[in-house]
Amino acid sequence: MCGAELSSLPEGVQRVARVLQDLGHPHAPVMLDDAARTAQQAADALGVQLGQIAKSIVFRRKADGVAVLVVAAGDRRVDEKKVDALVGKTGRADADFVKAATGFSIGGVSPVGHLQPPVVLLDRSLLRFDEVWAAAGHPHGVFRLRPQDLERLTGAPLADVAQAQAPEAAP
């Protein structure tokens, strides 16, 4: 992506695009016609499985007020007790906190390009897929990557932070 292409994008997407470019990621952000504020909206817009959306959930660590970003598959719910066991007690983050800590609005929080570096955890369930899509700093912006790319781009560990899935009923 060149400077002219970048300047036409929203500021948050520009920041994400620069980080991806600086880290040698091969896929630039793309802007969707419709907002993808939820994992389901993103999956529908991209024509992929819900689990292929690498959703970003932000918590606030109670001890020091630091943002904790959990990136999980769109078809999984984050288990807050598992997160707390790894990073210390957390609480919900409201929209103002998310914007101030990350520079992104809820529905567009990217795994990279934050204003202040958060504590990041990547859920292992993402490894089920060869390709996933993550928010790129705006509710209409997304970028393509492999789950392993998330480790490289964020420097974050893989962890089991999703709620256990109910076993599927036999036919």
Q: Homologous superfamily of 3-158 in CATH?
A: YbaK/aminoacyl-tRNA synthetase-associated domain (3.90.960.10)
pLDDT digits (tens, 9 = 90+) for 60-86: 999 999 999 999 999 999 999 999 999
From 68, 75, 61, select the one nearest 102 (Cα to Cα): 68
For residue 19, count other CB atoms closer than 10 A to its CB: 18
pLDDT of residue 164: 81
> What is the pTM (predicted TM-score) of this model?
0.90
Give the residue ranges of DSSP H helices in 64-146: 80-87, 95-102
Query: What is the predicted pLDDT for the residue at 1?
Result: 46
pLDDT of residue 150: 94
Chain segment 6-62, per-residue pLDDT in tens: 567 889 999 999 999 999 999 999 999 888 888 999 999 999 999 999 999 999 999
> How far, in Å, are 33, 69, 108, 170 from residue 112 at the CA level?
22, 10, 11, 40
